[in-house]
Chain A
């Protein structure tokens, strides 16, 4: 990419002016949906409140034109969007900054690009993430970076960074990518995971790494109740998310099936800081 192309990123600002009585489904608030459109055309995009279809412009003040492509498009979301769902859903490139807290499904099914939320998010953020970057400066709800119901193919690529706490069911059925949580996490971390990395700087409760086939979990804080399927192996020193520390290294889940590579069984790894 040429330096001049980097400067070609266009910013569209949408400001909530009409908080919905129910909730707004804003799957069209993504660089992919905005790309190539003027602010007037963007204001004409559909949003959904229950079974009614409205226009983005009825709920948001829209200013600025989008870039030619998703990669050239930045969206800034202002105002009270706590009742807005699906921001950044399925995006493949570009950037979104939400200047407050928002609701469910932020960046769900995203493939690329970057989303920053300067507040909290509710459940289902980054469902089945395939690439890109999601930064949540506040707390995340349940099912962060988890698979969609019934799908054994969960988050496979990309990075998620939560500066606050996260809820339950982080990284369920994860196969790749990385999730970093600066705060604490609720029950069920990396359940059924077959790859990927989850780092919790704070504390975990229980049911960490349940039914895990493969993958790596690092818990810097405490785990209230360890899964019995985790067997202590050794103590190691590792640099993780910018911190060098000593970790007790467990392998597991010993109740689950595991793959072999070149005659060696591959286990999941759980590291707890000592």
Chain B
């Protein structure tokens, strides 16, 4: 395969501790190798005066699956006048907040993202998720099946049967080609199947009589019992409500004292996602204020947790989440079209458009909270940048979020443009922060950190020899200060070149190859568990609407290029 050497760039690699030194990066047979290992015929990429990082890793976005597609189907207006034509290597592209699968791959690649995780996959629909992943070019992807409202999980954990839960998780990950244990509004989404909810970690789930706290604790224990690459990944109860930061802290406290157990270099036992939506103080939308400091104080002190931000980008976008009751609540607030899908035995999903207007003080405060979280983070290897795409904003705004984080001037410009600037300054701490994140910290928050949290630190997120050759060159010269912070946004929007697994896929912002993307999934081996197998068979016979054979038979045509991370939990 091809050999490349990217010469004279300023390398930012937290995996190797390189903080902008000039260094060469050599690629051979799809991997990063030592400079000395490539021949003289290696193609030279001149990165002089440019920044070199590993390919970025998206830890949480809604980009493939039934609720994403429901969003596409029900929002033709999301595509009006903004579609892109077929050209060169690109298929037609469409969709602003919910791009088509082709556009999703191209736009991530253009920004230098090479791996992405679909944040919530309803297991019954996993085939659909994988068909969309297959049709998303270039980027490696994985998908997180949801477990927090699953009948098997609730029944086992009510009796504290961690081993059975682990056996079920292993079975389900294999049946759905899933990557991790995702938990959304634990217990509350099952309550939603009756129109109810669980707003604190102690609210019992109707009929199943288990609390969210018990579900969370049990799933953390099962995850560590298995030693999975990623930790339990949670969207806590009470999302989006003023005062919910207490629910968030109650959730995080469940992880206290639990040690990670795995062979993938993962050091956390809980990943808290789109933290912005869970960091609210106040009692109503009138006295609504930021709880970012309280939440980040706890995160900073507790090293067995990682978080991602969920930054608001001030766009018209589409919310979509497995937190069904939240979406119903949102449509009652903004009266915009509401889609909902309750999934038998497993979970639910809701979709509602939302406009984060800079003229509305609540939206402006949300914007500030998202940035505060990253700016208060003491360890950028444990705090990652996301927009919970498309909930807080489209992923194509990552360059803009990076601009705000790297430039206080850019933040000030935005704050001055708010209609209710005074409220933003009084209800949040954003005005007092002068910290500007460095390129090294951005590399940690968008590459090395998420890769490590996902258990992929040997594969991606860094530029050490032996890792996948996912390499990005940006038109940023770290030795020249920015005249205008918009240059940061421009540079991160259109990479000078992107390599995915050693294949050049982007050149000067243009797609030059669709690559050969892989679907990452986790194959966990457990001891035989006849009890769990019997329970599975029984539930399919009685409560599911498809047969067990059809649920399990995930033909490999849906996952044309699988990459399994093997886990042995049979000790």
A binds B: yes
**CA gap between A148 and B75 in the complex, in Å:** 11
Residue ranges of A at the interface with B (Cβ–Cβ < 8 Å) = 148-152, 257
A-B contact pairs, 7 of them (CB 8 A): A149-B77, A150-B74, A150-B75, A150-B78, A150-B337, A151-B77, A151-B80
Q: State whether the Cβ of B44 lies closer than 8 Å to any Cβ in chain A.
A: no
Nearest chain-A residue to B79 (Cβ)? A150
Would you list which residues of chain B between 492 and 526 have a CB under 8 Å from chain A?
A: none
Q: Does residue B92 face the partner (Cβ distance < 8 Å to A)?
A: no
The answer for the CA separation of A149 and B77 in the assembled complex, in Å, is 7
**Chain A proximity mask over B73-103: 1 for CB below 8 Å, otherwise 0:** 0111110100000000000000000000000
Q: Are B77 and A148 neighbours in the complex by a CB distance under 8 Å? A: yes
Total residue contacts A-B, CB cutoff 8 A: 16
Is the C-beta of B335 less than 8 angstroms from some C-beta in chain A?
yes
Report if B433 contacts A (CB, 8 A). no
Q: Is B336 engaged at the interface, CB distance under 8 Å to the other chain?
A: yes
User: A152–B74 contact, CB under 8 A?
Assistant: no
- CB within 8 Å of A: which B320-358 residues: 335-337
Which residues on the A side are within 8 Å of B335 (C-beta)?
Answer: 257
Residues of A within 8 A of B78 (CB): 150
How big is chain B's contact interface, by range? under 10
User: In this complex, which of A149, A150, A151, A257 has the most chain B Cβ atoms within 10 angstroms of its Cβ?
Assistant: A150
B76 & A152 in contact (Cβ 8 Å cutoff): no
Task: Find the B residue at minimum CB distance from A213.
Answer: B335
A148 to B76 Cα, complex, angstroms: 8
Separation of A107 and B80 alpha carbons in the complex (Å): 16
Q: Chain A residues with Cβ under 8 A from B337's Cβ?
A: 150, 152
Report yes or no: B336 in contact with A148, Cβ–Cβ below 8 A: no
Residues of the B chain whose Cβ atoms lie less than 8 Å from the Cβ of A149? 76-77
Chain B positions within 8 Å of A148 at CB level: 76-77, 80
Of B74, B75, B76, B77, which is in contact with the most chain A CB atoms at under 10 Å from its CB? B77
Measured between C-beta atoms, what is the minimum distance from A51 to chain B in Å? 11
Q: Which residues in A have their C-beta under 8 angstroms from that of B77?
A: 148-151
Closest to B332 in A: A257
Report the separation of the CA atoms of residues A151 and B355 in the bound assembly, to the nearest whole angstrom: 13
B336–A150 touching, CB < 8 Å = no
Contacts of A151 in B (CB 8 A): 77, 80
Which residues of chain B are within 8 angstroms of A152 by Cβ–Cβ distance? 336-337
5 other contacts beyond A150-B76, A151-B77, A152-B337, with CB at 8 A cut-off? A148-B76, A148-B77, A149-B76, A150-B74, A151-B80
> Nearest A residue to B80 by beta-carbon distance?
A148
* Alpha-carbon gap, A151 to B77, bound state (A): 6
Task: Output the least CB separation between B518 and chain A (Å).
Answer: 35
User: How distant is B432 from chain A, measured CB to nearest CB, in Å?
Assistant: 38
Chain B, 50-87, CB within 8 A of any chain A CB: 74-78, 80
Alpha-carbon gap, A257 to B78, bound state (A): 25
* B75: A residues at CB distance < 8 A: 150
Q: How far, in Å, is A120 (CB) from chain B's closest CB?
A: 26
